Structure 1
Amino acid sequence: MDVSEPISVLYVDDEVHNLNSFRASFRRIFRVHTAESAAEGRKILEQHPVQVIITDQRMPHMTGIEFLAWIIPDFPDPIRILLTGYADINAVIDAINLGQVYKYLQKPWTEDDLRITIEKAHELYMLRKENKDLTQKLIEANARLEEGLKKDFGTGV
């Protein structure tokens, strides 16, 4: 990903006014995708690369934690943020354990705090991506080295 590209963010919330506020606040600095349901959020993930996912906890049909746990097998890389207006310790625990949530934020959010959280989440995304790429290069270099040793010294290493 080119560092000059805007951060791609998906915000899932069943309350349309929250989606509209988020879009109005951040559309000039981030590539904003919004969804009114978990199913709609998954469709967006299937169509667009996203680095940061923000989801409301309390939604009909599927909670934010359930949504995050549902998408992890197919979309493990985006950094996940849970946003809620309710303080529930069980939700916090589930967010960490099931949804692999980076941050748990309370509504109402402030624009500056949420922007900084998104930027920090993106930094983590990029660090993880770089680490994954470097690990793959190391594996490939080790395989080439082992193959070269086999050629130079026979069958066993």
Structure 2
Amino acid sequence: MENKNTKITVLYVDDEENNLVSFKATFRLKYKVYTAISGSEAIDIVKENRIEIIITDQRMPEMTGVEFLEEVIKIDTEPMRILLTGYADMGAVIDAVNKGKIFHYLNKPWSEEELDETIQRAYEVYAKRKKLLETYSKLELSNEQLEFLLRQKLLS
């Protein structure tokens, strides 16, 4: 599912360059793909761009995937977060859910079909959540206007 005029923006973070190249080659026609070889490089990308979906490897030097996602949440809570790992590390998965607030967890190596379906589902949730927030903001504004009118009526 794509926006009417733009592609879904996806950031893929992995410390293995061949995985970054493979991801970009696989998905660059369908999505607007950003890649980063480290958590710190990815944080800069998140600060400078509107990212809708973040996919990160768990095991990376300097900063794990969960640590990276914790930092992302401090910058921008909107992107949907997906964790990849080649290891069946339940502690990492639990941390990812509790601390990184991930949308989904996938094992490496990823299959193109499964990852694509996960990105699509994540974007659907992202779009619905964004629409709900916009509706809530409009309702809040309408409520403030009604309260103002009511106060004016009571004062006159």
Normalised by the length of structure 1, the TM-score is 0.96
Q: In the comparison of the two structures, how many residue pairs are matched?
A: 155
Q: Residue 11 of structure 2 contacts residue 54 of structure 2 at CA under 8 Å; is this kept in 1?
A: yes
User: 3-state SS of the aligned residue for 1:105?
Assistant: strand
Q: Tell me what 1:43 maps to.
A: 44
Structure 1 unaligned spans of 5+: none
- Once superposed, which parts of structure 1, at least 4 consecutive aligned residues long, lie more than 2 Å away? 1-4
What are the Cα deviations for residues 79-133 of structure 1, in whole angstroms up to 9, with x where unaligned?
0000010011111110000000000100111111101100111111111100110
Q: CA deviation at 1:145?
A: 0.2
User: 3-state SS of the aligned residue for 2:75?
Assistant: coil
Q: Tell me what 1:96 maps to.
A: 97
- Superposition map of 1:75-86 within 5 A: 75-86=76-87
Q: Tell me what 1:123 maps to.
A: 124
Q: Tell me what 1:137 maps to.
A: 138
Provide the rounded CA distance (Å) in 2 between the counterparts of 1:46 and 1:108. 28
Provide the rounded CA distance (Å) in 2 between the counterparts of 1:39 and 1:88. 23
Q: Residue 58 of structure 2 contacts residue 84 of structure 2 at CA under 8 Å; is this kept in 1?
A: yes
User: 3-state SS of the aligned residue for 2:88?
Assistant: coil
Q: Residue 59 of structure 2 contacts residue 85 of structure 2 at CA under 8 Å; is this kept in 1?
A: yes
- Superposition map of 1:3-14 within 5 A: 3-14=4-15
Q: CA deviation at 1:4?
A: 2.9
Structure 2 unaligned spans of 5+: none
Normalised by the length of structure 2, the TM-score is 0.96
User: 3-state SS of the aligned residue for 2:29?
Assistant: coil
Q: Tell me what 1:153 maps to.
A: 154
Provide the rounded CA distance (Å) in 1 between the counterparts of 2:44 and 2:111. 28
